Amino acid sequence: MNFTPATPVIVQGIMEPLGVTYAPLMRSYGTQIVAGISSGFGGQTLDGIPVFDMLEQALPVVGPIETAIVCNPPYAALDAALEAISAGVRQIVLISQGIPPLDMVHLIRKAEASETLVLGPNTPGIIVPGQILLGIHPPEFYAPGSVGLISRSGTLTYEVAWALTQAGLGQSIGVSIGGDTIVGSSFAQWLQILDEDENTEVIVLVGEIGGDSEESAAHYIAEAIDKPVIAYIAGRSAPRGRRMGHAGAIIDLQTVDVGPEVGTADSKMSAFKRAKIPVASRPSDIPGLVKKLLKIPARRSAG
């Protein structure tokens, strides 16, 4: 993982609405955006960022690229990501929402063959507070610190980050793996990254009902993660069986050691409890659990 202010970044689809809006914000935060790619806009600039028609035209001018942020429409995102992989880019953030599932299957195969880390799609990206913004996280909710935050949802990531920040607990990184049905990287991959990250002392995992990614993450944490982890599951009050937002990925899988009714809130909470991972009842409870794990004394109320 290499996410620092020195990381050279390109924005593909920079002249699309997402790119036009967020590329300047990322740059003002300290991200080294060296170029943008948008077919038909070559030779123009956006907030001082040179724009090229194709990535291969940008490389001789700006040099090697480490990270690509894809803001293209969903039907064009696969071509953009494959172009980045062919150019040697090994970290790709797919902001685009609704990329066709077969396109994602194709991309994941190419990414695995080239050892490329793919985040998303349908993700706000990555933020290393005070250093770099790769996506659309609202930076004002974050503060530098040692809590690693991994989530499936964008807005829940912001809410938990803000709760931590207000409690004086900064974050080492904020990551959303994405809300689409098929995503490039998993909770397990990011848990391993944060377990090896020297700036992260404790990990907060924010999950949702639907799918089996949280159950699999709980099993992986018990088997392979050394750092303390806290979990929170959103959607526990959702009506059973109703498809809601990200929870539309509810599936009926038989996964080792994750219990019955995979995808429900009860299944996910049970999996974390079996792995001896504290589970917060609400986002506002997370800072207290973090302080307990970090052995930070609670403030006494004035009386």
Cis before 297 (ω within 30) = no
Residues facing 135 on adjacent strands: 125
* pLDDT at position 162 over 50: yes
Domain end: 57, 85, 119, which one?
119
Max CA distance (Å), the chain: 66
Sign, CA torsion 107/108/112/117? positive
Confidence at residue 246, expressed as pLDDT on a 0 to 100 scale: 46
> Does a structural domain hold residue 95?
yes
Same domain for 222 and 148, yes or no, is yes
CA proximity to 1, closest of 88, 73, 66 = 66
* Rounded-to-integer distance, Cα 47 and Cα 268, Å: 45
Distance of CA 153 to the CA centre of its chain: 8
Q: Judging by DSSP bridges, how do beta strands 279-280 and 171-176 pair with one another?
A: unpaired
Least-confidence region, from 42-46, 224-228, 268-272, 299-303: 299-303
Which range among 17-21, 56-60, 164-168, 262-266 shows the weakest confidence by mean pLDDT?
262-266
3-state secondary structure of 127: strand
pLDDT, tens only, 208-237 = 888 889 999 999 999 999 999 999 998 655
Q: Which long-range contacts (CB under 8 A, 24 or more apart) does 181-184 make?
A: 181/101, 181/248, 181/249, 182/101, 182/104, 182/105, 182/108, 183/104, 183/119, 183/120, 183/121, 183/122, 183/123, 184/92, 184/94, 184/104, 184/107, 184/108, 184/111, 184/117, 184/118, 184/119, 184/120, 184/121
Is residue 81 in a domain? Answer: yes
Domain boundary among 119, 147, 175: 119
- Helix, strand, coil shares of the chain, percent, nearest 5, are 35, 20, 40
Answer whether residue 301 is part of any domain: no
Tokens of 126: 């990555």
pLDDT digits (tens, 9 = 90+) for 265-278: 889 999 999 999 99
pLDDT value, residue 2: 78
144 and 191 together in one domain? yes
Are 241 and 166 in a shared domain? yes
pLDDT score recorded for residue 46: 98
Give the active site residues.
Answer: 246
Checking if the pLDDT of 106 tops 60, the result is yes
Question: Are the C-beta atoms of 249 and 180 separated by less than 8 Å?
Answer: no
User: What is the tally of structural domains in the chain?
Assistant: 2
Residue 109 inside a domain? The answer is: yes
pLDDT digits (tens, 9 = 90+) for 113-141: 999 999 999 999 999 999 999 999 999 99
If asked whether residues 159 and 96 sit together in one domain, one would say no
Same domain? 262 vs 158 = yes
Q: Which domain holds residue 250?
A: 138-294
* 155 lies in the same domain as 246: yes
**127 domain-assigned:** no
Q: The CATH number of the domain where 97 resides is what?
A: 3.40.50.720
pLDDT at position 158, please? 95
Once rounded to an integer, what is the mean pLDDT over residues 254-272?
70
Binning pLDDT at 50, 70 and 90, where does residue 241 land? low
Whether residues 285 and 143 share a domain: the answer is: yes
Residues 108, 152, single domain; the answer is no
CA distances from 87 to 60, 68, 90 (A): 11, 10, 9
When mean pLDDT is compared over 93-97, 265-269, 295-299, the highest value belongs to 93-97
* Residue at a domain's end among 119, 154, 179: 119
Is 173's pLDDT higher than 50?
Answer: yes
CA proximity to 205, closest of 140, 142, 279, 271:
279
Residue 126 included in any domain:
no
Residue 107, pLDDT > 80, answer yes
Q: Does the pLDDT value for residue 254 go beyond 60?
A: no
Same domain, 196 and 74: no
Residue 46 and residue 97 share a domain? yes
Indicate whether 156 belongs to any domain: yes
Look at residue 234 and tell me if it is in a domain.
yes
Crossing angle for the helix pair 55-62 and 74-86, to the nearest 10 degrees: 40
> What mean pLDDT value characterizes the chain?
90
- Residue 244: give its domain's CATH number: 3.40.50.261
- Clarify whether residues 114 and 152 are in a common domain: no
Residues 158 and 62 in one domain: no
Nearest Cα neighbor of 3 from 228, 235, 175, 192 is: 175
